[in-house]
A and B are shown apart, each in its own frame.
Chain A
Amino acid sequence: MATVDVVRSGSAGHTETDNYLTHSKGLLSWLLTLDHKRIGVMYLIATSAAFLLGGFFALMVRTELWTTGRTIMNHDTYNQMFTLHGAVMVFLFIIPGIPAALGNFILPIMLGAKDVAFPRLNLASFYLWMMGATFFLAALSFTGLDTGWTFYTPYSTTDFGTGKDNAIISAVMGVFILGFSSIFTGLNFLVTIHTMRPPGMTWFRMPLFLWAIYSTAIIQVLATPVLAITLLLLLVEKTLGFGIFDPQLGGDPVLFQHFFWFYSHPAVYIMILPAMGVISELIGVNCRRHIFGYRFIAYSSVAIALLGFLVWGHHMFTSGQSKLASVVFSAITFSVAIPSAIKIFNWLSTMYKGSITFNAPFLYALSFMFLFTIGGLTGLFLATLSVDVHLHDTYFVVAHFHYVMVGGALTSFLGGLFHWWPKISGKMYSETPARISALLVFLGFNLTFLPQFVMGTRGMPRRYYNYLPEFEPFHQWSTIGAYVLGAGALLAFATVIHSIFRGKPAPMNPWGGASLEWTCSSPPPHNNFDKAPSVEDCYDYDKLVWDEKTGGYLMRK
């Protein structure tokens, strides 16, 4: 290979000298840190633990459904298992997973800032998350939380006179607190992106991941407070009898669903928008082509965030909502498909004629595109009024949102984790097990949820403990798939953890990314940038060249 003139040193000199991991020592230096990178790592550990817990509940649910009737647990335990699975996965893992864990670590560095705007608030958000999680664990110990993650009234406000009341109150308070954790994270990111951009980092030079996080943060700030007030009203309803959702007292139970979904539909985009942001980065870097339709992808993130506020009624087609509202919500729901499709097509166009590297992050990105497209398209079936009446509350719905939540959010979380792991840990993971994990996740996932589409269309209701014998084969395929998926996820985490101890030191820029986080050392120094970085096109990969000596990419002179 012809020698090319390159810039050998990053902005921070070399790795070993000083980085955020070695900057200070001791447990307290972590627990009281104001460094966004350390907070991000703590979130990463905490949300991954929540994922494993939620995954355990999922496997319990799937194991129970192996046969009709009782397999390993009674129906009460089963009800608690699926409730905890949903609540833990949604509130403790998916919502904070990408924004709070990966976002916290990557966002300020990508932006070229030294930290987020409010480091103390950032740490407070993390401890709010921990508090919320503690309330969840308390709910676990009360045993009896079986409302489903949606806490629908009147079931959740019924006075049972047992430990179930405490479990519900505890879990609702947990979600309330987690909500504020999410609000403050979003607020912090919005302020950071608005006020901390270094000179040269204009809006349209920002990496698309930042656009996605920005759009997510808009939703977090605008929608989450509605969840907070909803849960507060639920609490006063349950403990004092306010009667807001109770028809006996002049309230309106449909109102609860309006309130809940005003948050929880936009919350779906809190889960998927950051995932889309991750995919935009993975596709660009690994295809070594300038991302196609940058502005379209950027604007479509904002469009999804705003349109997402207008469609919540599609969860209520069969729950007493008026026909007029249903028609309006159904019509608007279809329109959300447009910005999502814009993204998919632009990613495909980016891949066209690219020189693709099939490393683990890219395999996860491919899974995302495949699975999210299925998840999105089946969403259109459910948005269709007449079809939804048939499919509502069946396994079709379960499969649909798992294709979006797991196929979308989880695969991109893992993809993003592998992608930025060298930056986070300073170590290279080993590629082969990582690729196998991607394959296992993809195959296991489809094995789990494709049969559920079939079951759903044939009338298998969701959340049921027992079922007709004709569904047994589907359930068994699904359960096998769940274990394969679980093995894949475990392998992914094992690969990452293994690299901490055995991984080779990571170069500054192992993948040839052109955004700013690849211009500081791996792991980054405490202050991210010693001097304000110069900002160039973050999708121009031609300026980078492979360097055999360091095993990474370097900037052309």
Chain B
Amino acid sequence: MSDHAAAHGHSDELAHEMPVSTLISVFLALVVLTLLTFDASYSISRPEYLGAPIFGTHISIFRPLFAALALPAETMRSLGVPIAMAIATVKAMLVILFFMHLRHDKALNNLIFFFCFAFFFLFIAFVLIDTLQYQGDISSFADSQATK
């Protein structure tokens, strides 16, 4: 029986327990951020979009923001990817830090997981740099084929 107590003393150290309130808050935050992604996307791409119709009015975060900034259409469009990726990254961080307990996990597990994204971006960056360089050759070749 003393063994039992000792085992329980141990089990508390095995891993952090996440409170239910935190789990549900994170879930709600993820839902809100998903809606925000829609809001950003539609505010950029659909001129007729006024916001989500809730309680008889239109609610939007990004539309008034873009209206206030009065950016040219091309600039707005180029913002689409960074904004969507930024929101997705915030969502991802919420999942990683709370659902996956990484906030309370060992430093080593944090290190390797974030470290691997360095390789991920390295891969994308090098290939992107290269393809951007020779893209002109491809299109000029395609054009010359088309005129033939």
The reply, when asked whether chain A contacts chain B directly with Cβ atoms under 8 A, is yes
Chain A residues with CB under 8 Å of chain B are: 194, 222, 226, 247, 252, 254-255, 258, 262, 309-310, 312-313, 320-325, 328
Residue of B nearest to A316 (CB): B130
Give the distance in Å from the alpha carbon of A423 to the alpha carbon of B116 in the complex: 37
Whether the Cβ atoms of A323 and B133 lie closer than 8 Å is yes
Nearest CB of A to B127, in Å: 5
User: How far apart are the CA atoms of A323 and B130 in the complex, in Å?
Assistant: 8
User: Is A254's CB under 8 angstroms from B134's CB?
Assistant: yes
Judge whether B130 and A310 touch: CB under 8 Å.
no
Known: A194-B108, A222-B116. A254 touches B130 (CB 8 A): yes
B49-103 contacts to A, CB under 8 A, are none
Q: Please name 23 pairs of A and B residues whose Cβ atoms are closer than 8 Å in the assembled complex, sorted by A.
A: A222-B119, A226-B123, A254-B130, A258-B126, A258-B127, A258-B130, A262-B123, A309-B119, A309-B122, A312-B126, A313-B130, A321-B130, A321-B134, A322-B130, A322-B133, A323-B133, A324-B129, A324-B133, A325-B129, A325-B130, A325-B133, A328-B126, A328-B129
Write the nearest CB–CB distance from A267 to chain B, whole angstroms.
15
| Interface residue B45 (Cβ < 8 Å from any Cβ of A) | no
B22 within 8 A of A: no
- The distance in angstroms between the C-alpha atoms of A323 and B136, with both chains bound, is 13
Chain B residues, CB < 8 A from A328: 126, 129
- Nearest CB on B from A243, distance (A): 15
Which A residues lie within 8 Å of B129 (CB)? 322, 324-325, 328
With contacts A194-B108, A226-B123, A310-B122 taken as known, whether A255 is within 8 angstroms of B134 at the C-beta atoms is no
Is B34 an interface position by the 8 A CB rule? no
Q: Hey, which chain A residues are within 8 Å of B131, CB to CB? A: 252, 254-255, 322
Please, which residues of chain B bring their CB within 8 A of the CB of A252? 131
Contacts of B127 in A (CB 8 A): 255, 258
Residues of B within 8 A of A321 (CB): 130, 134
Chain B: interface residue total (CB-CB under 8 A): 13
Give every chain A residue within 8 A of B126 (Cβ-Cβ).
Answer: 258, 312-313, 325, 328
| Nearest Cβ on chain B to A237's Cβ, whole angstroms | 17
Q: With A194-B108, A258-B127 known to touch, is A322 a contact of B122 (CB < 8 Å)?
A: no
B contact residues around A247 at 8 Å (CB): 138
In B98-144, the 8 Å CB interface with A consists of 108, 116, 119, 122-123, 126-127, 129-131, 133-134, 138
**What A residues does B108 contact at CB under 8 A?**
194
Cα A322 to Cα B134 with chains together (Å): 6
Additional pairs, 9, CB under 8 Å, beyond known A222-B116, A322-B133, A324-B133:
A222-B119, A254-B130, A255-B127, A258-B126, A258-B130, A309-B122, A325-B126, A325-B129, A325-B133
Query: How far, in angstroms, from A322 to B119 measured CA to CA in the complex?
Result: 21
Shortest distance from the beta carbon of A183 to any chain B beta carbon, whole Å:
13
> Nearest residue in A to B136 (C-beta to C-beta)?
A322
Cα distance A323–B133 in the bound complex, in angstroms: 8
Residues of chain B within 8 A (CB-CB) of A322 are 129-131, 133-134
Chain A residue with minimal CB distance to B127?
A: A258
Name the residue on A nearest B108 (C-beta).
A194
Which residue of chain B is the closest to A223 with respect to CB atoms? B119
Complex Cα gap A222–B119 (Å): 8
Say how far A266's CB is from chain B's closest CB, in angstroms.
10
In this complex, what residue of B is CB-closest to A226?
B123
CB-CB < 8 A to A254: which residues of B?
130-131, 134
With a cutoff of 8 Å between Cβ atoms, the chain B residues found around residue A313 in the complex are: 126, 130
B80 smallest CB distance to A (angstroms): 22
> Bound complex: CA of A320 vs CA of B129, how far in Å?
13
